[in-house]
Amino acid sequence: MAGPSEKNLLKPGVYYLQGNQACAEGAITAGCRVYAGYPITPASEIMEHAALRLPQVGGRFIQMEDEISSASVLLGASWAGAKAMTATSSPGFSLMQEVISFAIMTETPLVIVDVQRPGPGQGYITTSQEDVMQARWGHHGEGSIIALSPASVQEMFDFTIEAFNLAEQWRTPVLVMAEETVAHMREPLTIPPQDQIKVVNRKKPQDLGISPEEFLPYGHAMVPPMANWGEGYNVNHVSLVHHEDGNVTKYNRDIHLDSVSRIQQKIEGNTDHIARVETRFLEGCRHLVICYGSVSRTAVEAVMEARQERGIDLAFLRLVTLWPFPEKKLREIVRDVDTVFVPEMNLGMMKHPITEALRDRCNRIVPIPTLGALHSPEMILSKIYEELK
């Protein structure tokens, strides 16, 4: 890249930033040097900040003609060796699904931030968690996805870095499923010294001593090493079903099953390494609230109050990673509870994989849905009190 200017990274310290700005700073810290985007509320500040900051660190920013092209830019940038990101909001996220599918099949590391707003249609421009299923199932075909769910300005920074690290480590597209709440919130952000921030870079065939003659673009390992364009490895990126060497053949069941199972299993089979949950008061609890994203901020308050005011034996569990869904982890830590409450800013989406995971671990699951705005703690509490009367 042209004159990377480490000196223009944010100095360690405490800043007072908006979530969207923190996200863009996280990307830059992770090494993102190409940003492409198309304006949409409530995500636009990410691209505005990227437009300002990327040239300062030797990166390049471009405003594209739509979200399809914005996401497409990331493919070419990544193949040419850059870490690349785009951010959008829900209608734009719909337009990016084809690229996500291609990125999964070509095993292209890239990061897409979806600052969710309500739908369907243009909906509102307020907050939402209505794209969490689209994140997993919106792209055509098989293949898995990694999606993170930040709940604070600090996490908009931290999780964007983590998203790049996961993308590079697993050679796959990674989604940051933000919400307008955290995107427009302003809070203190602590930037640690650069040497305390973990930054992962993709494995290259050169690192493993693999010559261009021996190189298989989709071979060598569960996560194949990736050669950048311009380095003499003659890489063909193909999204047709392909052999390890990139060759496409007539329908071949073995190649089809092997290649597509591998790209699915490299994620699903490593869920324990990838997916995280956070818990409080879980040990031996009777009831449980499961939530994610900014809803966890009000949910944790509701849990504290129910425990203190009414002495209800209620625990808190937050999905930090939405996908791959940490089913095994959930089943390990939730053994035998009575009622599980699931507050979400949709009409009940993550409730489904939660129900599947806890099918024999709880007596009932009670969704607490709302649309377009955060639950108040009272909304969550009144449902809990009503159900546990």
Binding site for other proteins (CB under 8 A): 1-3, 5, 8, 33-34, 36, 55-58, 60, 62, 64-66, 68-70, 72-82, 84, 98-99, 102, 216, 229-240, 242-249, 255
Task: Rank residues 235 and 267 by Cβ distance to other proteins and give the closer one.
Answer: 235
Residues 6+ apart with CB under 8 A from 321: 146, 147, 148, 149, 274, 275, 276, 277
Phi then psi dihedrals of residue 364, to 5 deg: -160, 155
Whether 315 contacts 281, CB under 8 Å: yes
Of 52 and 347, which CB lies nearer to other proteins in the complex structure? Answer: 52
Residue at 59: amino acid letter: G
Shortest Cβ distance from residue 172 to other proteins (Å)? 17
What letter would DSSP give residue 376?
A: P
**Cα separation values, 286 from 281, 298, 331, 338, 364, Å:** 10, 20, 15, 6, 12
Least spacing, CB of residue 16 vs other proteins, in Å: 24
CB of 47 to other proteins, least distance (A): 14
Rounded CA-CA distance 389/383 in Å is 10
In angstroms, what is the minimal distance from the CB of 35 to other proteins? Answer: 9
The CA distances from residue 26 to 11, 65, 155, 183, in Å, are 13, 25, 9, 13
Task: Fill in the amino acid letter for 140.
Answer: H
Q: Closest distance between other proteins and the C-beta of residue 91, in Å?
A: 17
Which C-beta is closer to other proteins: that of 34 or that of 189? Answer: 34
End-to-end CA distance of the chain: 62
Least separation in angstroms between CB 207 and other proteins: 18
How many angstroms separate the CA atoms of 235 and 217, rounded?
6
Kindly give, in sequence order, each residue whose CB lies less than 8 Å from that of residue 257, ignoring residues fewer than 6 positions away. Answer: none
What's the half-sphere exposure (Cβ side, CA atoms, 13 Å) at 32? 36
Residues facing residue 186 across a β-bridge? 18
In whole angstroms, the minimum distance from the beta carbon of 63 to other proteins comes to 10
User: Which of 75/288 has CB closer to other proteins?
Assistant: 75
Provide φ and ψ at 96, rounded to 5°: -90, 0
| Distance in Å, CB of 264 to other proteins, minimum | 21
Minimum distance from residue 56 beta carbon to other proteins (Å): 5
Distance from C-alpha of 5 to C-alpha of 171, rounded to nearest angstrom: 26
Nearest distance, CB of residue 66 and other proteins, angstroms: 7
Q: Which residues contact 372 (CB under 8 A, 6 or more apart)?
A: 118, 123, 124, 126, 127, 128, 345
CB atoms within 10 A of CB 214: 11
In terms of CB distance, is 233 or 325 closer to other proteins? 233
